[in-house]
Amino acid sequence: MLSQREPVEASPGAVRREPRAAAGVRQALSSLRSSPGFRLLWISNLFFYGGAWTQTLVLGWLVFDTTRSEFLLAVFTAVRLAPMLLGPFAGVLSDRYDRVRLLMSACLWALGAVVAVAVMASSGPVSYGALVAGGLAIGLAQSPSQPARGSLVLDLVGRENLSNANALNALAMNMTQVIGPAIGGAMISVFGAPAALWISTTWYAVSLVALWPLRGAGRPTPGRPEPVLRMLTSGFRTVLASRLTSAVLLVTLAANVLLWPVYQGFMPVFAKESLGLDAAGLGWLLTCGGLGGLAGSLVIAMLGDFRFKGGLFVLGTAAWGALWSLFALSRTVPLSFALMACIGLMSASFGVLQTTLLLMTTAPEVRGRALGLQELAIGVMPFASLGLGVAAERVGVGTTAFLSGILLVAVLLTLAARVPQLVRYDGANIP
């Protein structure tokens, strides 16, 4: 009799576990399930980011393969990212005009820019100057559209689903970070760089098609808008008056001065010189980071409207910096791949929550301009890339990345002590 009862008693436990797993999946996908408009935006973002990751890897590889110079690679990265400095004006446009039409215009420009670079690459060797010009043209499509892209998320899903929706957007970015570099690296190895560039053109085309049904969904608040310069100055005064919002922007600034230039500009150097990897190996290294980011974004999405948003943002970003320092010391391929996966995992706490907290701590009428300030903070990356490029030429990429990670940890710990309300912030209301 005991042997007959035991399976019966174990079975209900197994049945109870299934609903919990299903509930977790439903929670993670809640914004996609409840908002048809956000589903379309998410699909558009998926393909837009896919094109961006593919061309980032391919163009970076071409530049370093052509020049063999960390500094010239840093110059290229700086030029490609320079349009981020237009973020404040893009934020004004996001608060002033139809956000969906702004995103459609960005897709069209990106499509044309990548086609132009792909044509040049297909016609023969591309000069360094042409690659820099192509990177600038592509950057003009990507960076200035970000305030409209972030503000539109809140328009479509509402405040209670914002953290989930931003996590799903980060999930899309990390999915493409897995797929894009792997495809780009493999295509470089098998068919050459032009084929990989042509693939990225199709990603932008699909992104544009997905946006088409959303026309009119991102219109600004009715009323006579202020002049552009007045909107710019008044909006920034409003945003920066909040100590909490300013602290979030400071974290964004520190991360983009110290670490994102390393990831954006120097991964080909780590792959070739520190780890002895080819183009396909570089693609798989970046894929590990994407897989980690994918997992981290999924965890945040499953948390839903959780309470410890500020604490996860600060402490998770500090852990991300510490992992980068360990990666900089590694000369073992398996360890480097594992560390890159962990870096991706912890990067989600920064990438998802910086936008979520910024939108939650600002009033609706200035959210586009708040995201414009965020884009400006990200826009210092070109200048930081130049400085880190000089440092890498003198002391090496590994030492530069190690010190950058340590400095970011120090900044986060200092900020946690000086602005404890950021660590405690739960997103319940606008401070």
Q: What phi and psi, each to the nearest 5 degrees, are found at residue 331? A: -125, 10
Give a three-class secondary structure readout of 310-369.
HHHHHHHHHHHHHHHHHHHHCCCHHHHHHHHHHHHHHHHHHHHHHHHHHHHCCCHHHHHH
pLDDT per residue over 223-278, tens digit each?
A: 556 667 777 788 778 888 888 888 999 999 999 898 888 887 788 888 877 788 87
pLDDT per residue over 310-326, tens digit each?
A: 889 999 999 999 999 99
Each as own residue / partner, the long-range contacts of residues 112-120 (CB below 8 Å, 24 or more positions apart, any chain) are 113/137, 113/138, 113/140, 113/141, 114/51, 114/55, 114/138, 114/197, 114/200, 114/201, 114/204, 115/201, 117/55, 117/59, 117/197, 118/194, 118/197, 118/198, 118/200, 118/201
Q: Which residue has the higher pLDDT, 227 or 206?
A: 206
pLDDT per residue over 7-44, tens digit each?
A: 444 444 444 454 565 666 677 777 888 888 889 999 99
- Between helix 309-329 and helix 243-258 the angle, nearest 10°, is 10
DSSP-H helix ranges across 193-308: 193-211, 228-240, 243-258, 260-269, 279-303
Residue 410 has what pLDDT? 94
pLDDT per residue over 317-361, tens digit each?
A: 999 999 999 998 888 888 989 999 999 899 888 888 888 888 888
Residues 333 and 382: beta-carbon distance below 8 Å:
no
* CA dist 215 → 40, 63, 208, 209, 219 (Å): 11, 38, 11, 11, 9
Residue 15 has what pLDDT? 44
pLDDT of residue 62 exceeding 70? yes
Residues 65 and 236: beta-carbon distance below 8 Å:
no
Residue percentage of the chain with pLDDT more than 90: 14
* CA dist 164 → 22, 279, 302 (Å): 16, 34, 7
